[in-house]
Amino acid sequence: MNSGLYARKLGIVAVLILLTLLAGCARDPNVRKQKYLASGNAYFDQGKYREATIEYLNAIQIDRGFAEAHYRLAQAYLRQGIWTGAYGELLRTTDLQPSNAKAQIDLGTLLLSAKQFKQAQERAQNVLAGPKQRRCTRAPCKFLCSIGRRRRVDP
């Protein structure tokens, strides 16, 4: 009888320790924001852009400076045709991470679509000013880079 009681108490203690550890992880803001990001990415990959948007917003609510979540939110907005939201999130991403070439290119492409040529050219120059490994391979990037180069040649 005593061994059964001992095993039961040991099991309860083990469960309490496990719950305490899980509660600690749930309170860690870095863990929480990464979980929201991962969940948003899963929704995004399934084409559920509204759900992804909510998850990315949750991650940003935890850490306003979470550049990756801002960038992924911009991508979700682009897929939904929410251009002003995408513009704002891309702008925020490039403010937080000026070296993020993808965000600079996407923002430049959006600016080109809005016929904001001078601002698009500035984004292209930001990409060109970065490391050589940032070679333009996508069509919008090539176009943006050609605009950026043209300005360098023609004062």
Q: Are residues 78 and 91 in the same domain?
A: yes
pLDDT tier at 153 (50, 70, 90 boundaries)?
very low
pLDDT tier at 147 (50, 70, 90 boundaries)?
low
pLDDT of residue 81: 95
Q: Are residues 125 and 109 in the same domain?
A: yes
pLDDT tens digit sequence for 5-28: 666 776 676 666 766 666 655 578
Asked whether residue 78 carries a pLDDT value surpassing 80, the answer given is yes
What is the rounded distance in angstroms from the CA atom of residue 80 to the CA atom of residue 70? 15
CB 99 within 8 A of CB 108: no
Is 136 part of any domain? Answer: yes
Segment 62-72 shows an average pLDDT of 96
Is 152 part of any domain? Answer: yes
What is the rounded distance in angstroms from the CA atom of residue 94 to the CA atom of residue 101? 9
pLDDT tens digit sequence for 79-135: 999 999 999 999 999 999 998 989 999 999 999 988 988 888 888 887 887 775 455
Sign of the torsion formed by the C-alpha atoms of 27, 29, 35 and 40: positive
Instruction: Examine the fold and report which residue of 82, 97, 112 is the final residue of a domain before the chain moves on.
Output: 97
pTM > 0.85? no
Instruction: Examine the fold and report which residue of 58, 81, 97 is the final residue of a domain before the chain moves on.
Output: 97
Name the maximum alpha-carbon separation found in the chain: 91
SS3 content of the chain, % helix, strand, coil (to 5): 80, 0, 20
